[in-house]
Amino acid sequence: MLDISAWFNDLLADNLIFTPTTLGYYWEGLVTTT
């Protein structure tokens, strides 16, 4: 099981602007990696 906090921290560090499209992309990535 991966570290969800670290995973989201990495996203926040690299992507400061969130849009419905990118959020959907991240959510799909989260679902597929857990």
What HEC string does 2-25 produce?
A: CCHHHHHHHHHHHCCCCCHHHHHH
Give dist(CA 9, CA 5) in Å, integer. 6
pLDDT in tens, 1-34: 567 788 777 777 666 566 677 778 778 877 776 6
Please give the pLDDT value at position 5: 82
